[in-house]
Amino acid sequence: MNRKCPRISGLAAGLAMLGATAAGAADLAPIVEAPIAEVPAASSPWQIRVRGVGVITEDSGSVNGVAGSDLSYSDSVIPELDISYYFTDNIAAELILGTTFADIDEDGAVGVPVGRAWLLPPTLTLQYHFTDFGAFKPYVGAGVNYSMFYNQSERGGFHNLDVENAFGVALQVGFDYMLDEHWGVNFDVKKIFLETDWSADHDSLGALSGKAKIDPWLIGGGITYRF
């Protein structure tokens, strides 16, 4: 009769118990699921900017029939509100709103002050935004401007000053530096090519008219908020 060795029997029993314990532990172990990546919410296509803008004019113009005549316009600093809509991450349209005034002087052959005109120049630009530089987001743009002159007043013997509304072309370059998802700082430069007709009556010179070539630079900086 064959008799099993006690040591071998004990080892087999121990291995069986160990296997049963491991199987039970496996049954009790919690199931760990792979984490699901969060999908970031889509950002709003709307953005606003508030800027302080310096308006620097070109100072050029003429009085019809007066040789050597020239016009100059005062510069100003104004607040500006800009509303942007992003069609894609790269393409946006921006509506630029602000108002200012300019003192108009004839500082050529006649050498007299003419008057003051307020100007509302809403400007719409189509922009391309570069998105490969992280928080630094430069852009370029081009568009159209419609300048409306209002609340016109005269000086120096002039009456019935009329500076006509006119269309112009706008070019733009700038950048946003985003501090977080919504807030950023902005720097922006625009050039508006604006030439219009004007007319006025003068006490001693009679009826006058001419061209006012303003062509202002708009240089500004401010705060950006992306909804």
Question: pLDDT tens across 71-104, in order?
Answer: 999 999 999 999 999 999 999 999 999 999 999 9
The Cα 80–Cα 116 span in angstroms is 21
Least confident of 69-73, 116-120, 141-145, 202-206: 202-206
Question: H/E element holding 77?
Answer: strand 76-86
The Cα 207–Cα 181 span in angstroms is 58
- Span 163-175, pLDDT tens digits: 999 999 999 999 9
Q: What is the DSSP letter of 17?
A: H
Q: What pLDDT, on the 0 to 100 scale, is given for residue 38?
A: 44
Residue scoring higher pLDDT (17 or 103): 103
Looking up tokens 């050029």, which residue turns up? 60
Q: What pLDDT, on the 0 to 100 scale, is given for residue 9?
A: 53
Least confident of 64-68, 191-195, 200-204: 64-68
3-state secondary structure (DSSP) of residue 132: coil
Q: What pLDDT, on the 0 to 100 scale, is given for residue 14?
A: 52
Q: What pLDDT, on the 0 to 100 scale, is given for residue 185?
A: 98
Question: H/E element holding 26?
Answer: helix 6-28
What are the structure tokens assigned to 193, written together? 């090519």
Handedness of CA 107, 108, 113, 116 (dihedral sign): negative
Kindly report the backbone phi and psi dihedral angles of residue 23, in degrees, each rounded to the nearest multiple of 5, phi listed first: -65, -40
- Span 27-50, pLDDT tens digits: 544 555 555 444 444 479 999 999
The Cα 163–Cα 179 span in angstroms is 43
Looking up tokens 């006119």, which residue turns up? 166
| 225 in Cβ contact with 48 (< 8 Å) | yes
